[in-house]
Amino acid sequence: MWRYSLLLFLCFCIGSCHTDQPDDAPSQTISTQDINKGLIPSQKMYIKQEKDEINEYVTTHHYPMQTTGTGIHYWIYEHGKGEIPQIGQYVLIDYRISLLDGSVCYDSKQDRPREFCVGKDDVESGVHQAVQMMHLGDKGLFILPSYLAHGVVGDRDKIPPGAVVVYDITLLKIQNTP
């Protein structure tokens, strides 16, 4: 029975590929460039909406934050006296990741501190940028727009698609090898 159903499905698919247009009829295809032109305004609107949400969050919490050119809002609220990590160095961080609504997604107190190679490992690009603004021993709050965090898909676990995330980071260690 399933073979008969499969055969009918294949016949339908093959039959639906035929068009009634003559071979010399102009094509009605849409170019990638046309698609991109249509997507750009919606992307700009989405980015503006994210900025507005972030600004409202910062204002509500009275955080004295600065903003980078890439869109990270940050505040180093406790200053260390150590060096600043460079690309290729390994860092160890304590972190707490939450959403703008305050729900905590991850916390190194339960998950353990995270070690990664700055600028090289598979960590959110916003986190690579964040640690490069910190001195050893600094504690900072970083708000990452979705395009610098987990993007349109989220992390498929605790961070939803398109989410702005708030990282509270303490830079614990910097070293040249893991």
The domain that holds 96 is classified in CATH as 3.10.50.40
Residue 17: HSE in the Cβ half-sphere, 13 Å Cα cutoff: 5
* Domain contains 22: no
Q: Provide mean pLDDT across the span 42-66.
A: 92
* 160 burial via Cβ count (<10 Å: 0-12, 13-18, 19+): middle
174 pLDDT tier (thresholds 50, 70, 90): very high
* Domain contains 18: no
* Domain contains 158: yes
Specify the pTM.
Answer: 0.78
- Between CA 162 and CA 100 the distance in angstroms is 12
Token reading at 130 = 């964040």
* Domain contains 8: no
* Domain contains 16: no
* Domain contains 7: no
The answer to whether the CB of 100 falls within 8 A of the CB of 160 is no
Mean pLDDT, all residues of the chain: 86
* Domain contains 21: no
103 pLDDT tier (thresholds 50, 70, 90): very high
* Domain contains 67: yes
Domain residues for the domain of 57 are 39-175
Please give the tally of structural domains in the chain.
1
